[in-house]
Structures are given as C-alpha cells and as structure tokens.
Amino acid sequence: MMDALYALMDQLLPASIFGMQFMKNALLALLLLTPLLALLGTMAVNRRMAFFSDALGHSALAGAGAGLLLGASNQTAVLIVFGVLWALLISRINRTGGASADTNISVFSSTGIALGLVLLSQGGSFARASSLLVGDVLAIGPNDLLWLAVALVGGVAAWALLYNPLLLSAVNPQLADSRGVKTRLVEDLFVCLVAVAVMLAIRWVGVLLINALLILPAAAARNLARSAPQHALLSVIISLLSGVLGLIAAYTLGSSVGAAVVLCAAVFYALSLLVRRVLRIAN
C-alpha cells in the first residue's frame, strides 16, 4: 500500500523536492497531523486554553524522563499515559479553586519542563532533551504514519462527538448544565484528547513549537470566520497550508521543518489580522 502511495506521489509531486522517501513521509505526516491539531486548536481557542496546551507540551519532557527511568521500550505509549494523567491533574486542580487557572497552568508547565530536563540530562548529556525540544518530522517512518492515520480518524470522530457540548459549555456553562450536559466529563474527555494529540505529535514537532502549531491556525481562522463551521474549516485549511509550505521552505533553506511550519502559520495569522482590519474598514 505504501509503495503504491509513494508511486502516486512521484507522479503528482515535483521530484526535486519530494523525490526522497523521507520527504514523502514528512509530507504525509504533516497532512495527517495538521488537520487534527487544527480542529483541537479551535476548541482550545474558544475555551481560552492556549496555555493549557503549552503546559502539556512541556510535560512531554517529564514523560520522556519517566519512560527512561522505568526502562520502557515504547516511548510513545509512556508519553500518552503521562500526558493524559498530567492533563487530568491540571483540570482537577483548576476546578478545586485556589490560585487562578493561568497560575496553576504556569506552575505545571514550569514543573513539567524542569522535571523532564533533570531526568533526561542525567550524566551531563542533554542530547535526549534537545531532540524532544526541537523535534524532527524528517525522521518519521511508515509505521509512524499508520498510527498517525489512526489518530486522525479517531481524533476527528471524538472531536465531532464532543464539539456541541464543548461549545455550549464554553459559551454558557449554566445553560449546558440545564440541558443535561455533563460539563466536567466533557471537559475531561477533551483534555485527554488534546493530551493524546500533543504527545503523538511532540516527537516530530518539538516541545518548543507544539503549542504554536496547535493555536496559531485556529487563532488566524477565528479572525476570519463568521460561524463555528467556518472557524473549523478555515483552521484546517490554514494548518494544512502551513504544513506544506513550511516543509518546502525548510527543504529550500535547509532549516528546521517544525520552525518553518510555525513561521508560516504566524504569517497566516498576521495576514488574518490585516484582512480583518480591511473588512472592518470596508463595512
């Protein structure tokens, strides 16, 4: 199946850029990752959870360190389990009151990255930490693509099921409760979904960039959209374009793919602000 897909890509894509298999794998990975992150990003933006996803990204270092400490052979599984537990813990602490939500999230974010660096830098070597900080989508393999495809299908299905109750609870929590929406359960399911997506993507996008890739396309789309469906559609389109253009730019410039993708998303965000301003003046 992969051979047939590679052959099709050879016919459709310029060989000067996508002639090598690792470039094809990187393109397929971005086509699978960016739509899922874009959809989850729309709800994270609507629920003002941008810093929450950043804290999850930072916790990946602690998860990787825990996996190393336990001698786990499947690093991705450890990251997912740790990320889900970390997300649920943040959500629980936020609901119990005390400090404000942004303060709690900042504490978890700094704790996660510090704990991870301590565990991963044992012996004075930061090589394992640096690979997670930056990520490398060019290192993705065919087996990884299969899991990303499964994650995309499952993630989109879960997002579709949770979308209406999540949106209602974000806009009017009292109305959601009166309609029988179990807001706590819905929120816990959503943070678990975000945690799984972030931990799957972290190896190739990097801790430093994952939050930007999750939030920037959704934020740009929000500046242009006039309805919730438009917001989701535009977010996916912007995220896909950022992924493809960023990969091409990184290949041309010989730079980091993740950084180039995020910079493309930042350009789209800047353009969305300009378009929004022009439309306001025109109206």
**Cβ count within 10 A of residue 11:** 7
Tens digits of residue pLDDT in 5-21: 888 888 888 888 888 88
Tens digits of residue pLDDT in 155-166: 899 888 888 888
Contact 191, 91 (CB under 8 A): yes
Residues in the chain: 283
Q: Report the largest interatomic distance among the alpha carbons of the chain, rounded to a whole angstrom.
A: 62
CB contact set of 261 (below 8 Å; sequence gap of 6+): 30, 34, 205, 209, 213, 242, 243, 246, 247, 250
* Domain 20-206 is found in CATH 1.10.3470.10: yes
Contact 204, 258 (CB under 8 A): yes
Query: Taking the model in full, what pTM does it have?
Result: 0.87
Listed by start position, the domains of the chain span 20-206
255 or 235: which leads in pLDDT: 235
Tens digits of residue pLDDT in 52-67: 877 888 888 888 888 8
